[in-house]
Structure 1
Amino acid sequence: MNTIDKPTDLLNPQVINESNHYRWLDQVRGAAALYVVCHHAVRKVVVLGDHAHDPFYRLLQLLTTYDHYAVDIFIVLSGYCLMLPLIRKQHFGSILNFYIRRTIRIVLPYYGALFVTLILIYFSMGEMHGSVWAKNALPVTFESFWKHLLLIHQWFPTVATKINGAFWSIGVEYQIYFLFPLFYFLAKKNGFVNTFFLISIVSYALWGISFNFNVINPGENGTSIYYCSLFFMGVVAAQYANQEDQTQLILFIDKHSKIVKLTAFAGIGLLAIASFSISHFHFSFSIPLQIQSFFVGFFVAVLFYLKGKNKIQLNCFNNLVTKPLELVGTIGFSIYLLHDPVLEMVWFYVVAPMNLPFYWLQAIVEIVLGLIASFSLAIIFYKFIEFPCHLLSKSFKNEKSTEDFSKKVISKKSATIVL
């Protein structure tokens, strides 16, 4: 859920996305955030008995079932965005300042959302203990609270989705930030592609060990150490999209950009179809989401590279769609943090009492009202919490310092791009 280096002022449309070159990042973030909200909105519908007789609701379920792919996009996007200022500066700067800036930018809004969620639970959700959402998020215990404070809740399956089901990925992303300086210096020394292979092998090996021995919550909403690979995919995409040196592989991709684009989209689509078919027909095997994430992340990173080189256009709609997506992307982090409890309140207090006759109609109304409520609260949260934290994080200048040990460990020769 990262944003590019320059903050935006929600109340002044003229300064939103000042750089046209990076508007597409906000559009992607906005689209992914909307998809996650729609997924959770459809899941709020309480289905009694067999719902096969409601094909339209089943279709809505199918179209919104790939929320994990949206999180994959967020992780790749985070790596891409964090790499952009480093490409401009050509040095990492103070590692300590980087950690401070990321903590202020991510953790403080997260704490704000945690507080808001607890307030909503205390005052508005006392009657929801029997709901599906409550079974996952409640009760709020001291254990779940302090583990959320330390952002280690995703390590423990008993509390990973407590309080607010969207919070698990915040802890994952924040912990990846601590490894980013190491990733960067390894890439400068050994090459970005070589480092990508190393990170992918190590991170997925660690996840495999965790999965086989069932330790440190290897589930889809768990520790997710394999996301290190997806994060670095974004880093590699940004690096090669903004460098002058070209390898044979990069030249081939540039020359056949349209074919590569179609292949990437087709790859994601075929993966989704295969996943659905396997689960629908109850085959004896399945494709773990963690494995699917690697391919989704790879295809997304390829698309980000092509877009960064202006080889393709991702904005397939007119300004009536892209402009709202940019705005949603600007406050996308706030939407992501708060949408889960907001959707539950909308369902429990508004949609469910309507007793609408069709499940699909309940889902549509929940999506519309949930988006309106989530967006409205996110605007307030962004203005008074997220945006001030963004500004505060910028007060810590990430300039070159004695902590920037890249000069000590990387010579000019080893700092060149290696494929």
Structure 2
Amino acid sequence: MDASRAADGAVALAVPPEPEEKATGAPVRRQVPGLDGLRGLAALYVVLFHCRLYTFRGYPNSTAPAWLDVLMFGRLAVVFFLVLSGFSLAISPARHGWRSGGVAAFLRRRAWRILPPYWAALAMSLVISWALVPASHFGPPTGASILVYGLVAQDVVHAPTPNGAFWSIAVEAELYVLFPLLLLVRRRFGAVALAACATLPVIALGLTAAHANPVEGDNRLAVHLAPVFVAGVIGAGVVVASDRVRRLPWAWFALLAAAPVVLLGFRRGTVWTVQHYFWVDLAVAPAMTMLVAAVATGRPGALVRLLSTRPFRALGDFSYSLYLIHLPLVMVVIRRVAPRVVAPGMPTFCLTLALALPASVLGAWLFSRVFEMPFKRNRSWKSMIAAGRSRRGGRDARDGAPLPEGRHAEH
């Protein structure tokens, strides 16, 4: 993958899993405290990464100040979101013998949850790309872009992108299709066999590449990123494990697993790390899985309480919308607004933080109210229409209620 493409794909799908269902089909919320907070923080990091990325050209050899290097690892957000996605989706199957409850039903629920807001964001991104600023150095989107991205086929077929972060949606969509098969392997052969099936082919691919460091193309990244998704799936077993396993110091295990990767990256430098993401992805996934497992088992308590506070939960609640719409807004500020009022470099970066960051968060919250939450709260058009009628009926009943004694209607 070239540097610009790797940088554009800074995040995987930030979508919480669908709730479990009763026998009647009504949703039952069994969310694990803290996971939404992690999801929200990761999405916020991606916004900051893109603010840095498009302000300072030449990624990864950019002209940004060294203290901003902490914001240049957007690719690791891909890994974290995939780990978190695999973990979250596998919690319910882990509680039910590693069964998905039906392939067709699972895929329908995922499509219902993901596609409506994605298509709305696609329309928004197309308009911004055509009217204000192209999202790619390949030029504005074409008719092929509408077809390819509308069908979520961008990991298989290349077309000028309307939104540089959309490629990861296709990657995760492919992993969703594989998810029932992954559960079957986990159920029949165990966690070790599942890890081997997903990881060994990727390792072989890397070792047989020139200089043992594959140059990734614009497409077909699902195979490479499947092991990090599988790591999350396997990690979900901790949630239903024995008390002895749940009480293990998973946070400390995460720190120990991350230490070699961090030390190697520090020693070799940030540019080397970015150029070797193929291996860094695989190396850091176990640490990320243990971090998610630690939060899911309630440890450390202070961190879980912080992640479970209302601001973090709210941010995680609309993190998918934040992922979908933030990049066009960031690029409008950097490419169209900033050149007219401030100098390049740090002044542009500061202006982008001041304008694009709050606009992205507020815009994502508003976007989620219209295009995400209705599909998150309801499982079908029928239930959505019924919920709308119920709300209108409630308002009508309140409007028609008699006034309290002593109060008179004003005319």
| Smaller-chain TM-score bracket | 0.7 to 0.9
Gaps of 5+ in 1: 8-16, 281-285, 398-419
Normalization by structure 2: what TM-score? 0.76
Query: Paired residues, what number?
Result: 357
The aligned amino acid for 1:146 is L
Q: 1:134: how far off?
A: 4.4
1:303 aligns with 2:310: no
1:226 to 215, 224, 229: 224
Note closer, same or farther for the CA distance 1:109–1:267 as it changes in structure 2 (3 Å cut).
farther
1-structure distance, mates of 2:297, 2:306? 21
1-structure distance, mates of 2:77, 2:268? 15
The aligned amino acid for 1:374 is S
2-structure distance, mates of 1:99, 1:179? 10
2:333 to 346, 371, 374: 346
CA deviation string 1:330-373 (max 9, x = no partner)? 111111111111111122343222224x7223212212321111
Note closer, same or farther for the CA distance 1:363–1:394 as it changes in structure 2 (3 Å cut).
same
1:279 to 272, 278, 297: 272
CA deviation string 1:87-143 (max 9, x = no partner)? 3344321211111111111122211111111122334x1xx46xxx5415x321122
8 Å contact from structure 2 (residues 15, 85) kept in 1? yes
2:82 to 69, 72, 75: 75
2-structure distance, mates of 1:316, 1:269? 24
1-structure distance, mates of 2:369, 2:143? 30
Note closer, same or farther for the CA distance 1:172–1:257 as it changes in structure 2 (3 Å cut).
closer
Describe the SS at the equivalent of 2:303: coil
8 Å contact from structure 1 (residues 207, 225) kept in 2? no
2-structure distance, mates of 1:177, 1:287? 28
Match of 1:86 in 2: 93
Match of 2:156 in 1: 155
1-structure distance, mates of 2:73, 2:103? 35
8 Å contact from structure 2 (residues 250, 290) kept in 1? no
Describe the SS at the equivalent of 2:55: coil
2-structure distance, mates of 1:27, 1:202? 33
Describe the SS at the equivalent of 2:15: coil
1:2 aligns with 2:8: no
1:64 to 60, 71, 83: 71
1-structure distance, mates of 2:74, 2:253? 24
Note closer, same or farther for the CA distance 1:88–1:315 as it changes in structure 2 (3 Å cut).
same
The aligned amino acid for 2:272 is S
Q: 1:314: how far off?
A: 7.0
Describe the SS at the equivalent of 1:225: helix
1:361 aligns with 2:336: no
Match of 2:192 in 1: 193
2-structure distance, mates of 1:203, 1:392? 38
The aligned amino acid for 2:321 is S
Q: 1:206: how far off?
A: 5.8
8 Å contact from structure 1 (residues 139, 162) kept in 2? yes
2-structure distance, mates of 1:317, 1:184? 31
Note closer, same or farther for the CA distance 1:22–1:220 as it changes in structure 2 (3 Å cut).
farther
Note closer, same or farther for the CA distance 1:63–1:148 as it changes in structure 2 (3 Å cut).
same
2-structure distance, mates of 1:221, 1:312? 39
2-structure distance, mates of 1:340, 1:5? 25
Describe the SS at the equivalent of 2:155: helix
8 Å contact from structure 1 (residues 78, 231) kept in 2? yes
Note closer, same or farther for the CA distance 1:350–1:315 as it changes in structure 2 (3 Å cut).
farther
1:262 aligns with 2:285: no
Q: 1:287: how far off?
A: 5.5
What value does the CA root-mean-square deviation take over the aligned residues?
A: 3.4
Q: 1:244: how far off?
A: 2.3
Bigger relative contact order, structure 1 or 2 (CA pairs below 8 A, ≥6 apart): 1
Describe the SS at the equivalent of 2:263: helix
Match of 2:116 in 1: 108
2-structure distance, mates of 1:275, 1:220? 26
Q: Determine which structure has more spread, i.e. the larger CA radius of gyration.
A: 2
Match of 2:320 in 1: 333
Normalization by structure 1: what TM-score? 0.75
1:26 aligns with 2:36: yes
Percent identity, aligned pairs only, is: 24
1-structure distance, mates of 2:37, 2:193? 31
Q: 1:318: how far off?
A: 5.2
1-structure distance, mates of 2:145, 2:29? 40
Match of 1:142 in 2: 143
Describe the SS at the equivalent of 1:310: coil
Describe the SS at the equivalent of 2:141: coil
Gaps of 5+ in 2: 1-13, 21-27, 384-411
Q: 1:46: how far off?
A: 5.3
1-structure distance, mates of 2:302, 2:66? 25
2-structure distance, mates of 1:343, 1:220? 22
For 1:46-61, list aligned pairs within 5 A.
57-61=64-68
Q: 1:194: how far off?
A: 2.1
CA deviation string 1:156-212 (max 9, x = no partner)? 4x53x6110000000000110011101101111111222112221134546778x67
1-structure distance, mates of 2:101, 2:29? 25
Note closer, same or farther for the CA distance 1:392–1:256 as it changes in structure 2 (3 Å cut).
closer
Note closer, same or farther for the CA distance 1:233–1:257 as it changes in structure 2 (3 Å cut).
closer
Q: 1:35: how far off?
A: 0.9
8 Å contact from structure 1 (residues 99, 178) kept in 2? yes
For 1:242-253, list aligned pairs within 5 A.
242-244=240-242
For 1:317-328, list aligned pairs within 5 A.
322-328=309-315
8 Å contact from structure 1 (residues 30, 332) kept in 2? yes
Note closer, same or farther for the CA distance 1:153–1:275 as it changes in structure 2 (3 Å cut).
farther
8 Å contact from structure 1 (residues 113, 337) kept in 2? yes
The aligned amino acid for 1:135 is H
